[in-house]
Amino acid sequence: MFLPGAGIVRRKPLERHQTLREKILETIRESILKGTLKPGEKVAEPELAERFGISRTPIREAFRQLESEGYLTVIPRKGAVVTELSERDVTEFYAIKSILEGYAARRAAGKLSDRDIERLEQINDKLAQLAEEGDVKTFFKVHGEFHDMFIEAAGNEKLADLIRQVGMKFNRLRIASLSLPGRMQISVEEHKKLIEAFRNHDGEAADHLVSKTAELGGRLLLESMKEQQSGRAHSPMAEAYDL
């Protein structure tokens, strides 16, 4: 576990506060993704305060951030517990993702320049490399850059904000989906088809591809959740973290 070292102690108070907050966020996220912290389990403030050698203020700030990302639920006078995700959460999130991102792709198809498309290809090449390495965490980050690029190109700020807000709330689901066996490779191949649709300025094809890929991600995740509930499979997220 992380212990504050001399290098951190020498930082300015605000810098140290922010650094520790990020460490807390990363520690709790990974504990939930690995399954060390299970749905419904309480996350104790006193233990975290002692482990990191800090007051509870940055811990509570981290809890609020994690609640906004769908990892924790903060209950008044009780504290923070790991949020339980249902099959309904998966179904509803991927339905929204399919509609919103599909529309963004349709709008972006007529606006992306040759240079933009070249950049999308470069990002997807990086994703292919990360998929080969099995690096889910970095893949998730770069995958977001790919989608952000065509979402921003759609030219609708309110749409982009809405997609960002919904995506942030369900980061756990998105990482879980990408952690499924072969899922990253499927994403790379679907991106290749999407890039071709963008190159041809084919908005209808772009919309269809993005919608279909989102629906596939949700369906595969639902199947995985059902297998876990029946005790036939381990958590794909835990496997992605070498557990």
Query: Going residue by residue through the chain (243 aa), what tens digit of pLDDT does each one get?
Result: 333 333 333 444 445 556 788 888 888 988 887 778 888 999 988 888 888 888 888 888 899 999 988 899 999 888 899 998 889 999 999 999 999 999 999 999 999 999 999 999 999 999 999 999 999 989 999 999 999 999 999 999 999 999 999 998 888 888 888 989 999 999 999 999 999 999 999 999 999 999 999 999 999 989 988 887 776 445 544 444 343
What are 186's two structure tokens?
């499927």
**What domains appear along the chain, each with residue ranges and CATH number?**
6-82 (1.10.10.10), 87-240 (1.20.120.530)
Residue type, 134: G
Return d(Cα 74, Cα 221) in angstroms, integer. 25
What residues have CB less than 8 Å from 150, skipping those under 6 apart?
104, 105, 108, 112, 120, 194, 198, 206
Q: Are 34 and 237 in contact (CB under 8 A)?
A: yes
Q: Are 176 and 237 in contact (CB under 8 A)?
A: yes
Return d(Cα 27, Cα 181) in angstroms, integer. 24
Q: How many CB atoms lie within 10 A of CB 125?
A: 12
What are 45's two structure tokens?
């403030």
What residues have CB less than 8 Å from 131, skipping those under 6 apart?
139, 184, 185, 187, 188
